[in-house]
Amino acid sequence: MRREQLCWDCKNACASRCCWMRDCTPVPGWDAKEVARHKSDQGQYLGKSYFIVKCPNFVKDTKHKEEKKNGLTISEAVRFRIDELLGKKRIGWKDLEHKAFVAASVVKTVARCRAKSVNVRTIYAVSEFFNMTVSEFFDSPIFNAEKIDF
């Protein structure tokens, strides 16, 4: 059974605070094991990645408690939209991770609303996976500006 990545429970797991989340550059000083990534349904080699054992930037995120005014964060709205689209296709988050070529750590961050925002590159990959434009992805009542805390 595969263990979860350290990043999935890290408060710094966002592009503005972590080079690994931003552009998959290894964090200086981390203890990580190189692993091969495969497309699960076909066993196709996708390249290398890392299993992170210890990271100098790790800060435990305790349930991602966040002060909110009265609306959703961008990441919550994106998560609800992805949930809606996954439901229409009758697939789960794991399918998104494996078939949209979105890093597991990014999928976990979005699925668990671990950050206040979502990287545009992630939105683009998810939109492509659902055969829609980014504009079509955001064309949903969930993104009504009155419902979102900016």
pLDDT digits (tens, 9 = 90+) for 58-87: 988 765 444 344 467 788 888 888 888 888
Query: How many independent structural domains does the chain possess?
Result: 2
Q: For the domain that residue 78 is a member of, what is the CATH number?
A: 1.10.260.40
Q: Are residues 80 and 137 in the same domain?
A: yes
Q: Do the domain assignments include residue 59?
A: no
In tens, the pLDDT along 102-121 reads: 777 777 778 777 777 788 88
Q: Do the domain assignments include residue 96?
A: yes
Q: Are residues 20 and 48 in the same domain?
A: yes
In tens, the pLDDT along 18-48 reads: 888 777 788 999 998 887 765 555 566 666 7
Q: Do the domain assignments include residue 26?
A: yes
Residue whose C-alpha is closest to residue 100's, from 51, 17, 39, 20? 39
Measured CA to CA in angstroms, residue 35 lies from 10, 38, 39, 66 at distances of: 21, 10, 13, 34
Give residue 13's domain range: 6-54
**What is the token pair recorded at 83?**
């949930």
Q: Do the domain assignments include residue 132?
A: yes
Residue whose C-alpha is closest to residue 75's, from 111, 41, 101, 40? 111
Q: Do the domain assignments include residue 36?
A: yes
In sequence order, the 6+-apart residues with CB closer than 8 A to the CB of 90 are none
Residue whose C-alpha is closest to residue 11's, from 137, 112, 134? 112
For the chain, give the number of residues. 150
